[in-house]
Copies of this chain bind each other. A is one copy, B any other.
Amino acid sequence: MTESMEREEQKRLQEQLINLLKENEIDAFREEFLDMHPYDQGQFFEELDEDLRFALYEMLSPEEMANIFEQVEVPEEDYQDLLSEMHPMFAADMLAEMSTDDAVDVLNELDKEQVASYLTIMDEEAADEIKELLHYEEYTAGSIMTTEFIAIKANQTVRSAMQILRREAPGAETIYYTFVVDEQKHLVGVISLRDLIVADEETMISDVMSERVVAVSVAEDQEEVARIMRDYNFLALPVVDFQQHLLGIITVDDVIDVMDEEASDDYSKLAGISDVDDTAGNSPFGAAKKRLPWLIILLFLGMMTASLIGRFEDTLNQVAILAIFIPLIGGMAGNTGTQALAVAVRGIATGEIQEEGKLKLLVREALTGVITGGSCGIAVTLVVYVWQGDFILGALVGISVFATLIVATLTGAFIPLFMHRLKIDPAVASGPFITTINDLISILIYFGLATTFMGYLK
């Protein structure tokens, strides 16, 4: 099937489902709808208007709705509205049926009183599991883990472990890794389902499990969790407290979402925009709201640049030609700074740059600045000399480019490293911010040199 045919097909199915909803054809609707993948169900749900959503809630059980709701991605503030559309008992049951980690994600978007009221009317066991997860800080391992894992004992046979797995499979987040705990719930080992099914049924778990189990602390940064799962190709990672008690597991699908979120976050900040995603259906006002804060900050930084140039008004009045190279020098400074920034931010994010590697990186960046600055400086000198027939002017612009590129490269690398040391997310030293700072520096260098050597200019 070609892609456009597939899209046609989907559109047809969607229209058919909407008709069945409108005509209240419960059985026909359920037969078609429940046959779809939960992700597609979620996509369908997101497209519905309020009336059709009400019709849908009538036709589905809280459990069926839970599968859909796990897939729904709407702006954070909309979760509250969606839940209040449902009967409170229906909503509470749905939350109880969702994967604990997904339910917690939804609850985190609600008012405290609302959370409390749902937890009160909810099935007690589910409420307890959710409460346990609710208090972990955002962006930590605890906030993305689930407590629906299967734990077994070391002193049981493979056969009895398989029985547990078969029994627990429907409720567990994954059964492909099973974690082994001792009597005090300390994590002592791990065994994959792959190893379980090839092992002899009478073997003891302690003989086939791996004791080299990589675990993360519940307070670990989610970015570090993603790094470990990527490097070690795990499908699930156990989460422990400081005494090595097994608290939960993180599955690979959650880590993929984290990676996506972090990549989009770094990207947004490099572009100077508060959130680059959820474009679809966003109004121009919504888009402007995300961009204006940055633009206003930059406006005032730009005013500082303007007032800085204003101080050199005498120089400018005498040699107006100087003005034509302002964008060139400022642009080069901004770009080289952004390059150095990007390398440093990615290096920190991927864990390539550790504390001990920072000085090395700065030295490397300084030398890189000398090389790029030297090359560009010579090129500029020659071009300006040939073009304007004034070697002194050429040298002035060239030397400014040389000095600017070294300083800008160092600034671009230093600021994120310094922020990381202060435990601030280095990505907030966003692209436009670095660009504008380097703009300022470049003008100071350029006009400083020009004023000093003005006597020599034609």
Which residues of chain A have a CB within 8 Å of any CB of chain B? 35-37, 39, 162, 165-166, 169-170, 175-176, 193-194, 197-198, 212, 214, 229-233, 235, 252-253, 255-257, 259-260, 263-264, 266-268, 270-273, 276-280, 282-285, 287-288, 291-292, 294-296, 298-299, 301-303, 305-307, 309-310, 313, 316-317, 320-321, 323-332, 334-336, 338-339, 341-343, 346-347, 350, 352-353, 357, 361, 364-365, 367-368, 370-372, 375-376, 379-380, 383, 387, 405, 431-432, 435-436, 439, 443
Q: How many copies does the complex hold?
A: 2
A229 to B259 alpha-carbon distance, docked (Å) = 13
A231 to B197 alpha-carbon distance, docked (Å) = 29
User: A267 — nearest CB in chain B belongs to which residue?
Assistant: B267
A325 to B326 alpha-carbon distance, docked (Å) = 10
Which residues from B are CB-within-8-Å of A212?
35-37
A302 to B404 alpha-carbon distance, docked (Å) = 15
Find out whether the CB atom of B372 lies under 8 angstroms from the CB atom of A295: yes
Find out whether the CB atom of B273 lies under 8 angstroms from the CB atom of A252: no
Find out whether the CB atom of B291 lies under 8 angstroms from the CB atom of A339: yes
Find out whether the CB atom of B270 lies under 8 angstroms from the CB atom of A271: yes
Find out whether the CB atom of A331 lies under 8 angstroms from the CB atom of B436: yes
Which residues from B are CB-within-8-Å of A295?
332, 335-336, 372, 375-376, 405
Checking B233, B260, B335 against A432 with a beta-carbon cut-off of 8 angstroms, the contacting residue is B335
Shortest CB distance A171–B (Å): 12
Shortest CB distance A335–B (Å): 4
Find out whether the CB atom of A326 lies under 8 angstroms from the CB atom of B328: no
Identify which of A36, A212, A320, A364 gathers the most chain B CB atoms within 10 Å of its CB: A320
